[in-house]
């Protein structure tokens, strides 16, 4: 038996239950991981609340972790007991002291990246990788708008965009968050709770707007984000921290200048082993070179997942959050 955080039904943070679970032996193509650190991501709150329904209940939630291989199932040739690995993808089950994982979804971690950093960076870091290099390929000299710039995805994005030579306009919820985003390469911060961010973006771009908006906030920023785009610009709507974007009339995209919209997910962009490895390697490179520093700003014992969810949804966290196991 090991300890795990499960939900027995969808709902608020109080539904997170500290349970004993059986892990069992790894099957064909699987390994059993002893986890050292688990990543907290906004998607965990969607699984908990029911916004993204889980396949079956009760469910151990969580998609990201780092640890050591402690048993290898039949048919696994490229991993052995004692290997340090990390991951960021389904199946759900990361909020646990130990778990089974398909071997082909794991990435070996170099010694230079410790367990907490690995658990903090895989999901948010590979997300930034695909968003700024593949969903829309940001070029040197471009100015982009990134919402929630002081968050987990946001701080990594500010640094990586800066590394690519882009100018970053970032929205933030407080003065403290503005300072933090600036310290991580965000050139212009906009306090979007008090300021009209559309007007601010227009000011900063001489009225032209930006070629791409990265929006993980969703409902509250959707309309304004479209107004920040230049003609034929791309709206990358990649999350729902304030709630899902309501159904939208496509005619709005023509009225606002032949805009493009995409709603990408990390799961699609790392679906093949080749894409997963390339994305992880690009991330490990920028972290290894020091271009991107992974900021673990909060840690909680896994048993205190409820508090962590309350803080994340209460906009109290900055940077990345990790559960210690
Ligand atoms: N599609 C994908 O592949 C993918 C992958 C990873 C993450 N995501 C999405 O990316 C976004 C950021 O994820 P994260 O894990 O790094 O979280 P995060 O940015 O650390 O936390 C969310 C932030 O959103 C902002 N926010 C604005 N309105 C909010 C509201 N009403 N309630 C709560 N927060 C609000 C807050 O920052 P301020 O106080 O500064 O406004 C908050 O700190 C999420 O939407 C997540 O679902 C998508």
Domain ranges of the chain: 2-122+272-324, 140-263
Tell me, using a 6 A CB cutoff, whether residue 170 lines ligand 1: no
Distance 152 CA to ligand 1 centre (A): 8
Question: Tokens in use for 65?
Answer: 């972790």
Distance 125 CA to ligand 1 centre (A): 14
- The count of other CB atoms within 10 Å of the CB of residue 191 is 15
**H/E stretch holding 57:** none
Tell me, using a 6 A CB cutoff, whether residue 15 lines ligand 1: no
Which of 270, 322, 260 lies closest to 37 in space, CA to CA? Answer: 322
Q: What is the pLDDT of residue 236?
A: 98
Residue having the nearest C-alpha atom to atom 8 of ligand 1: 239
Tell me, using a 6 A CB cutoff, whether residue 151 lines ligand 1: yes
Question: Tokens in use for 18?
Answer: 């500290």
Atom number in ligand 1 closest to CA 243 = 31
Distance 216 CA to ligand 1 centre (A): 5
Q: What is the pLDDT of residue 93?
A: 98
Distance 217 CA to ligand 1 centre (A): 6
* Four-way CATH pick for 140-263: 3.40.50.880, 3.40.50.150, 3.40.50.10320, 3.40.50.720: 3.40.50.720
Give residue 153's Cα distance to chain centre: 5
Domain 2-122+272-324 has CATH 3.90.180.10: yes
Atom number in ligand 1 closest to CA 238 = 1
**H/E stretch holding 241:** none
Distance 62 CA to ligand 1 centre (A): 16
Atom number in ligand 1 closest to CA 319 = 20
Give residue 194's Cα distance to chain centre: 26
Atom number in ligand 1 closest to CA 150 = 40
Tell me, using a 6 A CB cutoff, whether residue 222 lines ligand 1: no
Residue having the nearest C-alpha atom to atom 19 of ligand 1: 151
Atom number in ligand 1 closest to CA 269 = 3
CA distances from 25 to 1, 91, 205 (A): 12, 16, 57
- Positions of the chain with pLDDT lower than 70, given as ranges: none
Tell me, using a 6 A CB cutoff, whether residue 147 lines ligand 1: no
Atom number in ligand 1 closest to CA 240 = 45
The C-alpha angle with vertex 108 and arms to 59 and 6, in degrees rounded to 5, equals: 10
Tell me, using a 6 A CB cutoff, whether residue 148 lines ligand 1: yes
Tell me, using a 6 A CB cutoff, whether residue 154 lines ligand 1: yes
Contact yes or no for 27/100 (Cβ under 8 A): yes
192-214 pLDDT, tens digit each: 999 999 999 999 999 999 999 99
Distance 20 CA to ligand 1 centre (A): 30
Q: Whole-structure pTM over 0.95, yes or no? A: yes
238-275 pLDDT, tens digit each: 999 999 999 999 999 999 999 999 999 999 999 999 99
Tell me, using a 6 A CB cutoff, whether residue 319 lines ligand 1: no
State the number of CA atoms in the 13 A half-sphere of 252 facing the CB: 13
């Amino acid at each position: 038996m090991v300890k795990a955080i499960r939900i027995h039904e969808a709902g608020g943070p109080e539904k997170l239950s500290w349970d004993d679970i059986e892990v069992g032996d790894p099957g064909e193509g699987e390994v059993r991981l002893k986890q050292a650190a688990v990543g907290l991501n906004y998607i965990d709150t969607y699984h908990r609340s029911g916004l993204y329904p889980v396949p079956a209940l009760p469910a151990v939630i969580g998609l990201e972790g780092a640890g050591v291989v402690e048993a290898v199932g039949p048919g696994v040739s490229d991993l052995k007991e004692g290997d340090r690995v990390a991951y960021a993808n389904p199946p759900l089950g990361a909020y646990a002291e130990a778990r089974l994982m398909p071997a082909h979804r794991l990435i070996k971690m170099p010694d230079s990246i410790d367990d907490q950093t690995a658990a903090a960076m895989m999901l948010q870091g590979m997300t930034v990788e695909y968003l700024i290099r593949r969903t829309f390929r940001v070029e040197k000299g471009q100015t982009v708008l990134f919402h929630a710039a002081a968050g987990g995805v946001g701080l990594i994005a500010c640094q990586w965009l800066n590394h690519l030579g882009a100018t970053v306009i970032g929205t933030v919820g407080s003065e403290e968050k503005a300072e933090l985003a600036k310290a991580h390469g965000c050139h212009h911060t906009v306090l979007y709770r008090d300021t009209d961010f559309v007007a601010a973006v227009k000011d900063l771009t001489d009225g032209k707007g930006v070629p791409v908006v990265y929006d993980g906030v969703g409902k509250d920023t959707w309309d304004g984000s479209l107004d920040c785009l230049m003609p034929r610009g791309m709206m990358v709507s990649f999350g729902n921290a304030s709630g899902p974007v309501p159904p939208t009339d496509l005619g709005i995209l023509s009225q606002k200048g032949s805009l493009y919209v995409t709603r990408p997910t990390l799961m699609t962009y790392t679906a093949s082993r080749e894409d997963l490895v390339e994305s992880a390697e690009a991330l490990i490179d920028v972290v290894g070179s020091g271009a991107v520093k992974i900021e673990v700003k909060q840690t909680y014992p896994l048993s205190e997942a409820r508090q962590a969810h309350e803080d994340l949804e209460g906009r109290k966290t900055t940077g990345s959050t990790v559960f210690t196991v």
